[in-house]
């Protein structure tokens, strides 16, 4: 792999200042290339807790991901290159809304997707990711001896869990969704499948039901990556129904295969607010607190419980 000059400078600064760089699969490919670890929400949450042994963690992801790293590493300084990199899905659900749902449904356990704020996590019984949501909900139902849970903020992921388990969840709220995944329609899928009839359709569970029902494989970003790597059906073409960054990673790692983005609008501009130029600047100015993500101790103390429970049940 050949790095650009600025990538080489970042790698030098990272080693000199003893910093761990975490990057989500949806980051620009040049950022993925200089990261110590890349992955999805669950993988990066585990890494932040178990493998980030440096005093500084730079997180190239959206705000809730950096918050999770801060919750799990209160003694470390967590930095985000662009503080404006926020998750619109997380904005669908507030801590106050969760408390209201709990009042209306007393005794019902609260499962929140990690794509939520630290304050929302603090009101939860357990968190989940797209890769473990079905397993977490099933285990929580058994533990609490209940036939439902409060689940938010992504209604499409909740619908996926409902289909998998044959249960009915109480969605917080009914219309929570990812603006990137919900843009993909069945018509889009039919069009691209007609153009590439030999390609497998792999999609994220945040996609709408009509799309998931015609997919060949449904999974989180890391599960989609693993599926392509394992390639159980021996295919050489894949239609990728998630953010463009994963397609770029797949194309880099599996150059012998062909990948097509299911819908050209599947780009998370909030994830793309990070640049290697910004990362270099942050590494050069570690004392600039404008880039620090610090979850208040009183919230972190409560939020770490559902996160730790998720890691334990995963």
Residue 203 clears pLDDT 60, i.e. is over it: yes
- By mean pLDDT, which of 51-65, 161-175, 292-306 is the weakest? 51-65
Q: 43 or 85: whose pLDDT is higher?
A: 85
User: Distance (Å, rounded) from C-alpha 302 to C-alpha 119?
Assistant: 9
User: Distance (Å, rounded) from C-alpha 116 to C-alpha 112?
Assistant: 7
- Residue 39 has φ and ψ, to the nearest 5°, of 170, -165
User: Distance (Å, rounded) from C-alpha 70 to C-alpha 93?
Assistant: 20
CATH superfamily of 181-261: NadA-like (3.40.50.10800)
- By mean pLDDT, which of 30-44, 109-123, 221-235 is the weakest? 30-44
- If one counts every other C-beta atom within 10 angstroms of the C-beta of residue 290, the result is 9
Residue 1 clears pLDDT 70, i.e. is over it: no
Same fold, 90-177 and 181-261: yes
pLDDT at 148: 96
The pLDDT-based confidence of 121 (bands split at 50, 70, 90) is very high
User: Distance (Å, rounded) from C-alpha 112 to C-alpha 37?
Assistant: 25
Task: Determine the angle formed by the axes of helices 297-313 and 41-50, rounding to 10 degrees.
Answer: 110
The pLDDT-based confidence of 2 (bands split at 50, 70, 90) is low
In this structure, what token pair is assigned to residue 80?
């985000």
- On whether the CB atoms of residues 30 and 7 are closer than 8 A, the answer is yes
User: Hey, what CATH topology would domain 90-177 get?
Assistant: Rossmann fold (3.40.50)
| Per-residue model confidence as pLDDT tens digits over 233-274 | 999 999 999 999 999 999 999 999 999 999 999 999 999 999
- Which string of DSSP letters, residue by residue, matches the chain? -PPPHHHHHHHHHHHHHTEEEEEETTS-HHHHHH-SEEE-HHHHHHHHHHT--SSEEEEES-HHHHHHHHHH-TTSEEE-S-TT---TTGGG--HHHHHHHHHHSTT--EEEESSS-HHHHTT-SEEE-TTTHHHHHHHHHHHHT-S--EEES-HHHHHHHHHHHT---EESSTT---TTGGG--HHHHHHHHHH-TT-EEEE-TTS-HHHHTT-SEE--HHHHHHHHHH-TT--SEEEEES-HHHHHHHHHH-TTSEEEES-TT---TTGGG--HHHHHHHHH-TT-GGGB----HHHHHHHHHHHHHHHHH-
Is pTM, for the whole model, over 0.85? yes
User: Distance (Å, rounded) from C-alpha 82 to C-alpha 61?
Assistant: 9
Domain boundaries, the chain: 5-86+271-294, 90-177, 181-261
Exposure string over 195-209, b if 16+ CB within 10 A, otherwise e = eeeebbbbbbbbbbe
- Residue 267 has φ and ψ, to the nearest 5°, of -130, 125
- On whether the CB atoms of residues 275 and 23 are closer than 8 A, the answer is no
Considering the segment(s) 5-86+271-294 as one domain, its CATH architecture is 3-Layer(aba) Sandwich (3.40)
Q: Which contacts (CB < 8 Å, 24+ apart) does range 188-192 have?
A: 188/262, 188/263, 189/214, 189/239, 189/241, 189/262, 190/214, 192/239, 192/260, 192/262, 192/263
């Amino acid at each position: 792999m050949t790095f650009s000059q600025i990538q080489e400078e970042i790698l030098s600064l990272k080693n000199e200042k003893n910093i761990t760089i975490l990057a989500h699969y949806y980051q620009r490919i040049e950022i993925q290339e200089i990261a110590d670890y890349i992955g999805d929400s669950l993988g990066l949450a585990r890494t932040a807790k178990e493998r980030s042994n440096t005093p500084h963690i730079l997180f190239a992801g959206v705000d809730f991901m950096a918050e999770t790293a801060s919750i799990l590493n209160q003694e470390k300084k967590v930095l985000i290159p662009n503080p404006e990199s926020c998750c619109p899905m997380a904005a669908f659900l507030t801590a106050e809304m969760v408390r209201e749902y709990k009042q209306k449904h007393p005794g019902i356990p609260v499962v929140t997707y990690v794509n939520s704020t630290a304050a929302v996590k603090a009101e939860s019984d357990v968190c989940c990711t797209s890769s473990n949501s079905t397993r977490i909900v099933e285990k929580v139902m058994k533990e609490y001896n209940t036939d439902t849970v409060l689940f938010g903020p992504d209604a499409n992921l909740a619908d996926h869990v409902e289909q998998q388990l044959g249960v009915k969840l109480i969605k917080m709220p009914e219309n929570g969704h990812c603006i990137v995944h919900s843009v993909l329609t069945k018509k889009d899928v039919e069009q691209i499948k007609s153009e590439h009839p030999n390609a497998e359709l792999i999609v994220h569970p945040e996609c709408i039901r009509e799309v998931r029902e015609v997919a060949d494989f449904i999974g989180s970003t890391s599960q989609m990556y693993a599926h392509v790597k394992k390639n159980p059906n021996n295919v050489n073409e894949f239609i990728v129904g998630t953010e463009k960054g994963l397609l770029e990673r797949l194309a880099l790692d599996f150059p012998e295969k062909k990948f097509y983005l299911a819908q050209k609008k599947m780009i998370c501009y909030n994830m793309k607010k990070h640049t290697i130029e910004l990362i270099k600047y942050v590494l050069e100015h570690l004392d600039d607190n404008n880039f620090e993500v610090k979850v208040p101790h009183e919230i972190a103390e409560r939020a770490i419980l559902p996160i730790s429970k998720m890691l334990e049940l995963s």
